[in-house]
């Protein structure tokens, strides 16, 4: 999870706080770099509690679009609204603290134990030691890790699947309304990946977070997504349910279904 810092992400006196609702809206959104359009225009709404999978080949705009949600980059045209507030006027520190962020590389701090990594966001938020210990235990249990057995281990002492579970736990530490996942299971073996996908599906159904999940894996997309958004050269060529994805004859969909 990217929690930001006041020094890196200063806010003006006119920035707006983030409400409780967690819809995400792309309104004619585009992003260009050095005159080249990388994404857009995008017009799509993600509802509270919905899991939408961004599916597509490498370079199709999935991760760039994901980064627009938590303000790691800002749109160069149109706007993105998170919880009813535009990302270009919101307090970016507060925005990022309302969003969990899980990435493929996990990003655990190597000198910190599992428990310390899991509770890092809580410490940054100024939570007390008793609350941190209680919440850390709950989070590790939630992702099927034994806090007593693994809590004092360092990241290099864990398997790839265990490290990824810690990454998910850390992203959920502050109970964010929104969870962004950028190919989080792409670096583990197939068996571990399958287990993580099932656990993640069960977890999202239980917690009802608003989730955007980036992948290039069709089977992963159809397993996890309430809806699937297919990216093609920076735009969304298709968005619909799993059943609609399976029936669609759009070329961007059929290329993925029948590579």
Instruction: Identify whether residues 51 and 153 lie together within a single domain.
Output: no
Classify residue 104: in a domain, yes or no: no
Instruction: Identify whether residues 171 and 46 lie together within a single domain.
Output: no
Classify residue 75: in a domain, yes or no: yes
Write down which residue in 175, 208, 231 finishes a domain. 175
pLDDT number for residue 3? 34
Instruction: Identify whether residues 255 and 195 lie together within a single domain.
Output: yes
Write down which residue in 134, 149, 175 finishes a domain. 175
Residues lower than pLDDT 50 in the chain: 1-20
> Looking at the 3D structure of the chain, how many domains does it have?
2
Instruction: Identify whether residues 149 and 236 lie together within a single domain.
Output: no
pLDDT number for residue 21? 54
pLDDT number for residue 15? 47
Strands 85-86 and 99-103: unpaired
Hey, what are 137's tokens? 């235990």
Instruction: Identify whether residues 185 and 164 lie together within a single domain.
Output: no
pLDDT number for residue 152? 94
Instruction: Identify whether residues 196 and 219 lie together within a single domain.
Output: yes
Classify residue 165: in a domain, yes or no: yes
Run of H or E residues at 43: strand 36-46
Q: Residues 218, 172, 100, CA angle at the centre, nearest 5°?
A: 65
The per-residue pLDDT for range 97-120, each reduced to its tens digit, is: 889 998 876 688 999 999 999 998
Instruction: Identify whether residues 132 and 66 lie together within a single domain.
Output: no
Could you tell me which of 23, 25, 38, 24 has the C-alpha nearest to residue 76?
A: 38
pLDDT number for residue 105? 66
Domain that residue 72 falls in: 1-98+178-259
How far, in Å, CA of 52 to CA of 191, rounded?
A: 24
Classify residue 62: in a domain, yes or no: yes
Could you tell me which of 212, 234, 254 has the C-alpha nearest to residue 45?
A: 212
Write down which residue in 175, 195, 227 finishes a domain. 175
Instruction: Identify whether residues 136 and 191 lie together within a single domain.
Output: no
Classify residue 154: in a domain, yes or no: yes
Instruction: Identify whether residues 166 and 186 lie together within a single domain.
Output: no
Query: What's the pTM?
Result: 0.85
How far, in Å, CA of 205 to CA of 166, rounded?
A: 19
The structure tokens 């993640």 sit at 200
Instruction: Identify whether residues 6 and 86 lie together within a single domain.
Output: yes
Classify residue 195: in a domain, yes or no: yes
Instruction: Identify whether residues 158 and 237 lie together within a single domain.
Output: no
How far, in Å, CA of 143 to CA of 20, rounded?
A: 25
The CATH number that applies at residue 189 is 3.40.50.300
Classify residue 103: in a domain, yes or no: no
How far, in Å, CA of 105 to CA of 102, rounded?
A: 9
Classify residue 105: in a domain, yes or no: no
Instruction: Identify whether residues 203 and 92 lie together within a single domain.
Output: yes
pLDDT number for residue 2? 36
pLDDT number for residue 147? 92
pLDDT number for residue 106? 66
pLDDT number for residue 96? 86
pLDDT number for residue 129? 85
Could you tell me which of 105, 102, 109 has the C-alpha nearest to residue 211?
A: 102
Could you tell me which of 108, 107, 105 has the C-alpha nearest to residue 187?
A: 105
pLDDT number for residue 112? 93
| Region for residue 98 given its phi and psi (left: phi exceeds 0; alpha: psi -120 to 50; beta: otherwise) | alpha
């Amino acid at each position: 999870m990217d929690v930001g810092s006041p020094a890196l992400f200063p806010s003006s006196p006119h920035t707006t706080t983030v409400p409780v609702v967690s819809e995400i809206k792309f309104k004619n959104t585009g992003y260009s770099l050095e005159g080249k359009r990388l994404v857009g225009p995008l017009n799509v709404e993600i509802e509270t509690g919905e899991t939408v999978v961004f599916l597509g080949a490498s370079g199709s705009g999935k991760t760039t679009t994901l980064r627009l949600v938590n303000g790691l980059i800002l749109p160069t045209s149109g706007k993105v609204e998170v919880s009813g507030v535009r990302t270009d006027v919101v307090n970016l520190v507060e925005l990022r603290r309302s969003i969990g962020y899980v990435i493929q590389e996990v990003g655990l701090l190597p000198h910190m134990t599992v428990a310390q990594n899991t509770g890092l966001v809580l410490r940054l938020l100024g939570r007390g030691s008793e609350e941190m210990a209680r919440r850390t235990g709950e989070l590790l249990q939630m992702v099927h890790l034994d806090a007593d057995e693994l809590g004092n281990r360092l990241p290099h002492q864990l398997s790839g699947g265990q490290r990824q579970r810690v990454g998910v736990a850390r992203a959920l530490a502050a109970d964010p309304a929104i969870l962004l996942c950028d190919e989080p299971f792409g670096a583990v073996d197939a068996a571990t990946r399958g287990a993580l996908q099932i656990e993640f599906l069960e977890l999202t159904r239980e917690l009802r977070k608003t989730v955007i999940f980036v992948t290039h894996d069709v089977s992963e997309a159809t397993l996890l997504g309430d809806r699937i958004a297919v990216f093609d050269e920076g735009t969304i060529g298709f968005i619909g349910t799993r059943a609609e994805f399976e029936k669609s004859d759009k070329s961007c969909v059929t290329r993925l279904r029948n590579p």
